[in-house]
């Protein structure tokens, strides 16, 4: 079965309503260009506010369920365009309890559920632990009209366990809504190495698990809200096949709707040739649940 994947790589405005309006238009354009599963970048409704710790930004969080305003809007678009939508949102679960969350909406407009980001970073200009509680829904896979979709988010990209479990639950495509880039003071010395690490680890997930990987990153420079530097998001959204080959990659500096076709039947062919799941020594992996082995 061949499926067309669409990734929405964009600049972000200061006003969330403007970002929502733009993303809605991009979803429609992607659909009109043949995309069947469409994924937004991480926290697409806002700029990346996690560059600073500021209680004021909790105002951007929203309740998420099938009746919430954003989900209802996306559901209407999914149904009208007959597309699956994966969208990354700032979830308000309760007063004082927030998550970095991805929702999945099927092509008939049905809200299939959410995934809450499991791994939460805390680095200069990526102060997510201030805002987000680690996910508690586990790793999730959603049966959609066009295939079984797994959703992980940004920092989850670096953890092979997350990709492994998501693949073992049946994902054929793992989507990674993302917000990653260079700090201006680091780009010259470390930029190429950082980008190569990001690309390589995700290609490795594709190979090790025999799945398609679709990473969709924001693009452009976003100044820090406190005026202290900022982040140059490197774009380069891409889709990799089970051999770790990048089928298609977006620009590193421009907005882009990246659309490419994936062949889900290739997954079985790959796993026949390289039967990693057959040869796993599950009796030997008990120590993986420890924090460290002394």
Mean pLDDT in consecutive groups of 10 residues from the start of the chain, 294 residues = 97 97 98 98 98 98 96 98 98 98 98 98 97 98 98 98 98 98 94 97 98 98 93 98 98 97 96 97 96 94
Catalytic residue among 81, 92, 117, 203: 117
Q: Is residue 294 part of a domain?
A: no
Q: Which of 45, 92, 154, 222 is catalytic?
A: 154
Q: What is the pLDDT of residue 194?
A: 97
- Domain presence at residue 293: no
Name the pTM for this structure: 0.97
Count up the domains in the chain and report the number.
1
Which of 86, 34, 24 minimizes the C-alpha distance to 260? 34
Helices vs. strands in the chain: H and E counts, helices first:
5, 17
215 part of a folded domain: yes
Q: What is the pLDDT of residue 126?
A: 97
Residue identified by tokens 């929203």 is 62
The answer to whether residues 243 and 270 touch, using CB atoms and an 8 Å cutoff, is yes
**What pLDDT was estimated at residue 98?**
98
Is residue 285 included in any domain, yes or no?
Answer: no
C-beta separation of 175 from 86 below 8 A: yes
Q: Which domain holds residue 169?
A: 2-280
14 catalytic, yes or no?
no
- 2 belongs to the catalytic site: no
Active-site residue, from 42, 91, 222, 256: 42
13 found inside a domain? yes
In a domain, residue 204? The reply is yes
- In this structure, what CATH number is given to the domain that contains residue 215? 3.60.110.10
Say what the pLDDT of residue 5 is.
98
In a domain, 288, yes or no: no
* Cα–Cα distance measured from residue 209 to residue 175, given in angstroms and rounded to the nearest whole number: 14
- Identify whether 50 is a catalytic site residue: no
pLDDT of residue 275: 97
Instruction: Give how far Cα 285 sits from Cα of 167, 280, 290, Å.
Output: 17, 9, 10
Partners of residue 261 on adjacent β-strands: 4
């Amino acid at each position: 079965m061949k499926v067309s994947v669409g990734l929405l790589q964009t600049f972000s405005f200061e006003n969330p309503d403007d970002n929502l309006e733009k993303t809605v238009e991009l979803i429609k354009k992607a659909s009109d260009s043949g995309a069947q599963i469409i994924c937004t970048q991480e926290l697409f409704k806002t700029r990346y506010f996690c560059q600073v710790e500021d209680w004021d930004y909790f105002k951007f969080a929203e309740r998420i369920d099938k009746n919430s305003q954003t989900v209802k809007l996306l559901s209407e678009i999914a149904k009208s365009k007959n597309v699956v939508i994966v969208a990354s949102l700032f979830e308000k679960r309760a007063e004082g309890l927030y998550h970095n969350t991805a929702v999945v909406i099927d092509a008939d407009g049905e809200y299939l559920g959410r995934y809450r980001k499991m791994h939460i970073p805390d680095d200069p200009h990526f102060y997510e632990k201030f805002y987000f509680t680690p996910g508690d829904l586990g790793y999730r896979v959603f049966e959609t009209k066009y295939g079984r979709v797994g959703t992980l988010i940004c920092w989850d990209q670096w953890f092979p366990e997350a990709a492994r479990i998501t693949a073992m639950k049946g994902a054929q495509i793992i989507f990674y809504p993302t917000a990653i880039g260079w700090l201006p003071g680091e780009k010259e010395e470390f930029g190429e190495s950082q980008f190569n690490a990001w690309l390589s680890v995700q290609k490795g997930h594709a190979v090790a698990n025999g799945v398609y990987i679709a990473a969709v990153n924001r693009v452009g420079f976003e100044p820090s809200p406190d005026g202290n530097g900022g982040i140059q998001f490197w774009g380069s959204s891409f889709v990799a096949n089970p051999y770790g080959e990048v089928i298609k990659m977006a620009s590193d500096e421009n907005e882009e709707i990246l659309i490419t076709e994936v062949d889900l039947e290739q997954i079985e062919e790959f796993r026949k040739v390289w039967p990693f799941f057959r040869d796993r020594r599950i009796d030997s992996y008990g120590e993986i649940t420890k924090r460290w082995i002394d």
